A and B are shown apart, each in its own frame.
Chain A
Amino acid sequence: MELLSSIIWLLTWPLLIYAGYRLSVYMVRVFERNIPEDQRTCKTR
């Protein structure tokens, strides 16, 4: 049980990275709504 919970806890590492990327992209989108159009990224998905 301790082993399983450790493995699950370890999986939060890639999840944190993915969440970090998604949050960054979302914040870039919000940021780009507030800056001049010519400085915006072509298409931040």
Chain B
Amino acid sequence: MIENIDLALVNWSRGQFALVALYHWLFIPLTLGMTYIIAFTQTIYVRTGDKEWERIAKFWAKLFGINFAIGVGTGIILGLEFGTNWANYSWISGDIFGAPLAAEGIMAFFLESTFIAVMFFGWGKVSKKFHLVSIYLVAFGASLSALWILVANAWMNYPVGMVFNPDTARHEMVDFWAVLFSPYAINKFLHTITSGFVISSFFIVAVSGWYLLKGRNILLAKRSIVIAASFGLLSSVFLATTGDGSAYWVAQKQPAKLAAMEGLYEGQEGAGLVAIGMLRPGKQIGDGEKAFVFKIEIPKLLSVLGYRNANAFVPGAEDLVLGNAGQDIMSADEKISRGKVALNALAEYKEAVALDDMQSASAAQARFEENYYYMGYGHLFDPNGIIPNVPFIFYSFRIMVMLGFAFIALFLLILYLAVTDKLQENRWLLRTSILAFPLAFLASMAGWIVAEVGRQPWTIQGLLPTMVSTSNINANAVILTFWMFAALLTVLVLAEFKIMTTTIKRGPDNAKKGGENV
């Protein structure tokens, strides 16, 4: 089976998906968070009648509109790639994966696309309250869109609510609610949208900070910073809370990902969390070498975060690959053997059904069901391959967490100085707030690396390896489209950057030079 797999096709397909997803995620966080901040400012306008608040809402809505228009295209490419590059995955799991994607289209896209027209063109043309409700519905639609796509993504990490049908060799949904309300999905949704809120808040703080540095649009900038820093502070605290939830569910359902996140090779009871550390380059599973050049560890914290028990055993990469009888952990070799039994039994079952030999079919089915849980492992050939890239995941995780906590402190400081009207004097902090915007993106991208690279070698955790998920196409087609997308998306990002910076420089009144100083 493995000899038929074109690894160039697999790697380029992965690369192409990662490329488009990376570009897509440059646009989405701003869509997720800015709508709520625009809604807050417009709500204050509707409640107070102060036209300056409406002017603020209109300005951020203009920037939101530019981002939204360019961002939609990248999402469409991603959706189509499931068919073009990941046809085998779509065939095996389309019944389940397709449902939330369809729900996203029917519920979220229609909601957004209907009311976004009112949001953009309704200023002064419809009643204030209807216009405000439209902005909230756009915001709600954007979050709802994220909910559905993250339900689909979470299912790949923690497959629930389905059975495998040996007659069709496909996964079929049996419990929609289990898929929708999977705790992994809900936590992932909350964690992801709040990361979008944090990025959006930093975007508004950064642009407003730039205005304060330039001495332009001062009242707009100060008010915007107060709103964005308040929302950003709350969101960043909530982000840390949902991050804790993520760690818990990863520990429960994806121990290999957790081992990579922590650089944990030897499992231990009462495992500590590595706060800062440097992995030993070239460390291999089972080589007896130490995993770290140095590390500073918080005692027992990993056991607490992962299992809510300070003395719980946390399996390391070596336990998962070599097995640990004391902890009842099966070796990867054994799982691979049982997976091959499952795959052979499935083939025998289909052959027996085709020959109308129901007795043999029944025996093969029983053997398949006994080993079904390990079916995905039957495609693997290297036991060490069940552990994702440890250094990549370990460092990405630390970048995300450290920046995440730094953002809480930064929002707190910005908010304090903003409400006491001392922010403009602290030019170093304004410059830091501008720098924080790209850093927020870096933290978010690092989070996605932990989530997606950390799931490898699986497309569907434990059931379908990535290398058997691709379409049966020529790798050259994927390479060609990779570079086409790379060029196209880079042009789109540069275009957005140019339009955004021009609009920001012109300010809320579209002045080509300067701007008012109130």
Contact = CB atoms under 8 A, between A and B. Distances in A.
B222 A16 contact: no
Contacts of A20: 36, 40, 197, 230-231, 234-235
Contacts of A13: 143, 189-190, 193
A5 B44 contact: no
Nearest to B201: A20
Interface stretch (B177-185, B292-300, B322-330, B498-506): B177-185
A36 to B, nearest CB: 9
B91 interface: no
Q: Most chain-A Cβ atoms within 10 A of its Cβ — which of B194, B419, B420?
A: B419
B227 A9 contact: no
A43 B44 CA distance: 9
A2 B229 CA distance: 34
Contact of B178 (A3, A39, A43): A3
A24 B183 contact: no
Interface residues of B, number: 44
Interface string B196-227: 01000000000000000000000100110011
A26 B231 CA distance: 12
Interface in B149-203: 177-178, 181-183, 185-187, 189-190, 193-194, 197
Contacts of B143: 13
Contact of A21 (B40, B219, B233): B40
Interface of B is mostly: helix
B269 interface: no
B370 interface: no
Contacts of B36: 17, 20
Contact of A30 (B177, B190, B197, B419): B419
B177 A28 contact: no
A44 B227 CA distance: 13
B43 interface: yes
Contact of A9 (B178, B187, B233, B415): B187
B49 A42 contact: yes
Contacts of A35: 222, 421
Nearest to B233: A23
Contact of A10 (B53, B186, B227): B186
A44 to B, nearest CB: 6
B230 A16 contact: no
Given A19-B234, A23-B231, A28-B227, A41 B186 contact: no
A26 B70 CA distance: 34
B34 to A, nearest CB: 13
Contact of B419 (A31, A39, A41, A45): A31
A28 B44 CA distance: 10
Contacts of B194: 16
Given A16-B234, A27-B226, A41-B50, A10 B40 contact: no
Contacts of B185: 6
Contacts of B48: 41-45
B44 A25 contact: yes
A5 to B, nearest CB: 7
B408 interface: no
A31 B186 contact: no
A24 B518 contact: no
B104 to A, nearest CB: 16
B181 A3 contact: yes
A10 B227 CA distance: 24
A34 B187 contact: no
B418 interface: yes
A39 to B, nearest CB: 6
Interface in B35-93: 36, 40, 43-44, 47-50, 52-53
Contacts of B233: 23
Contacts of B120: none
A28 B223 CA distance: 7
Nearest to B136: A17
A41 B48 CA distance: 7
22 contacts: A3-B177, A5-B183, A6-B186, A9-B190, A9-B245, A10-B181, A13-B189, A16-B194, A17-B36, A19-B234, A20-B230, A23-B233, A26-B230, A27-B227, A28-B223, A31-B419, A34-B421, A35-B222, A35-B421, A41-B44, A41-B50, A43-B48
Nearest 5 pairs of A and B residues by beta carbon: A6-B181, A24-B230, A34-B421, A20-B231, A31-B419
